[in-house]
């Protein structure tokens, strides 16, 4: 019996050389952020550990509450900085050289196809778009990984999703994954691997692929994965990652006779932009069904849709237009490099002239941490990945999820809108 791509990666990293129900596996890279990493470091110290497995394969990315929202946030950063200095961890990233971790780490070349990556953040599954096994873990697991460079894993089963047809205008990776989650539910892939494949996946951009694997966890999945192709390696080369020809030739594909728990085919021909309604990513409707929903806030950013392609799409719609006066619109490029590129292309000027507010790279608005918290009864549409009760602030606020084009069009109209309404 053949193996799936995820099984191949895990077998390669299994210390026993076998692929059993549970494996102890060596880790290529592990990381945490300014919320999760301090907990891991405290566990590390409580366990009496006095060394790390490899300081070059550890990263601390301070992205959630930065710029520091309060004294606790500032203390967490200081705590990680001191730990990094003690153990020679150079991959400590503070506000002056940082970004949203799942975008930033790729830019800096830390993630490569065929890697086993663990991060103390549920959206670590993002990196599966590179053809690696990438899992979110708890802070205790991260503490052990810091010391041993190893992790215990239950080997997940894989569900293969095959997308066929032709995407309509204004439909992106965000819409594919929202539609899929709407179809299978928030527990439809519980502790499974969502393997995305088919002619549609082959054609979409790497940034759209990253959006899809990012949100695999919203269907309960352990991770998402996409077989790397020429587009993958070109993307890596353009983002500081030196990928050798030998690595490119690795067997980074699922076998034709691989065993899947299920295979689901999805026709995209009639799909229009999708919107997840409160309070679950699975509560999905087509944008046309929601045109009467009035908004207080629009947020464009996050590890899901804060990349340069998202900003280009939003700016294209906002150019020479104004956002609705009764509404606030926040734009946060995911990394400093994206921020600089957006400035170079004139996108930031477009956002400012339209009436948007620019934020530095931060996760703050996405998780209701700071820089965009919603009050009771307020309604927002966001390019983020979650809309649980209280996700962006008050438990009686309401969050809708959409792609960057829908978000920009909605900012202009002051209500949820199809992009075609403003072009």
DSSP 38-67: HHHHHHHHHTT----S-GGGEEEE--SSTT
For the cut 70, the answer to whether the pLDDT of residue 244 exceeds it is no
Peptide bond into 279 cis (omega under 30): yes
Do residues 379 and 292 make contact, with C-beta atoms less than 8 angstroms apart?
A: no
| Nearest Cα residue to 114 out of 22, 32, 8 | 8
Digit-coded pLDDT (tens) for 166-207: 999 999 999 999 999 999 999 999 999 999 999 999 999 999
5-266 and 275-421 share one CATH topology? yes
Digit-coded pLDDT (tens) for 127-151: 999 999 999 999 999 999 999 999 9
**Domain 5-266, CATH class in plain words:** alpha beta
415 to each of 104, 294, 365, how far by Cα in Å?
Answer: 32, 4, 19
Pairing of strands 274-276, 284-286: antiparallel
| Nearest Cα residue to 398 out of 381, 421, 415, 417 | 381
Beta strands in 55-171 (DSSP E): 58-61, 92-93, 116-119, 133-136, 150-154, 157-164
How far is it between the farthest Cα atoms of the chain? 62
Domain ranges of the chain: 5-266, 275-421
pLDDT at 237: 84
pLDDT at 294: 97
Predicted TM-score (pTM) of this structure: 0.94
For the cut 80, the answer to whether the pLDDT of residue 250 exceeds it is no
**Domain 275-421, CATH class in plain words:** alpha beta
């Amino acid at each position: 019996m053949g193996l799936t791509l995820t099984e191949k990666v895990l077998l390669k990293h299994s210390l026993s050389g076998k692929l059993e129900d549970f494996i102890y596996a060596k880790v290529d890279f592990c990381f945490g952020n300014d919320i999760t990493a301090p907990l891991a470091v405290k566990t590390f110290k409580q366990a009496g550990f006095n060394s790390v497995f490899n300081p070059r394969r550890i990263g601390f990315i301070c992205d959630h509450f930065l710029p520091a929202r309060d004294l606790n946030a500032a203390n967490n950063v200081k705590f990680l900085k001191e730990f990094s200095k003690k153990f020679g961890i150079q991959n400590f990233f503070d506000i002056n050289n940082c970004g949203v971790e799942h975008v930033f780490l790729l830019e800096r070349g830390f993630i490569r196809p065929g890697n086993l990556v663990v991060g103390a953040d549920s959206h670590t599954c993002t990196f599966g778009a590179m053809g690696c096994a990438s899992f979110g873990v708890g802070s205790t697991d991260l503490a052990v990984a810091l010391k041993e460079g190893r992790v215990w894993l239950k080997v997940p089963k894989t569900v293969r999703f095959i997308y066929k047809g032709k995407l309509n205008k204004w439909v992106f990776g965000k819409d594919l994954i929202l539609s899929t989650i709407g179809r299978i539910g928030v527990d439809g892939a519980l502790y499974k691997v969502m393997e995305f494949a088919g002619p549609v996946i082959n054609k979409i951009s790497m940034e759209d692929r990253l959006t899809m694997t990012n949100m695999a966890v919203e269907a309960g999945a352990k991770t998402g994965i996409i077989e790397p192709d020429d587009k993958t390696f070109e993307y890596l080369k353009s983002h500081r990652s030196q990928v050798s020809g030998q690595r490119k030739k690795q067997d980074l594909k699922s076998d034709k006779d691989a065993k899947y728990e299920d295979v689901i085919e999805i026709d995209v021909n009639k799909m229009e932009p999708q919107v997840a309604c409160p309070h679950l990513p699975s509560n999905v409707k087509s944008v046309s069904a929601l045109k009467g929903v009035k908004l207080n806030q629009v947020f464009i950013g996050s590890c899901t849709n804060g990349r340069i392609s998202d900003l280009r799409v939003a700016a294209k719609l906002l150019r020479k237009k104004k956002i609705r006066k009764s509404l606030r619109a926040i734009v946060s490029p995911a990394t400093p490099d994206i921020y600089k590129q957006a400035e170079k292309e004139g996108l930031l000027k477009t956002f400012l002239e339209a009436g948007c507010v620019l934020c530095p790279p931060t996760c703050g608005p996405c998780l209701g941490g700071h820089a965009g918290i919603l009050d009771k009864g307020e309604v927002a549409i966001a390019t983020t990945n979650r809309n649980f009760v209280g996700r962006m602030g008050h438990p009686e606020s309401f969050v809708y999820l959409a792609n960057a084009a829908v978000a920009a069009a909605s900012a202009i109209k002051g209500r949820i809108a199809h992009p075609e309404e403003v072009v």
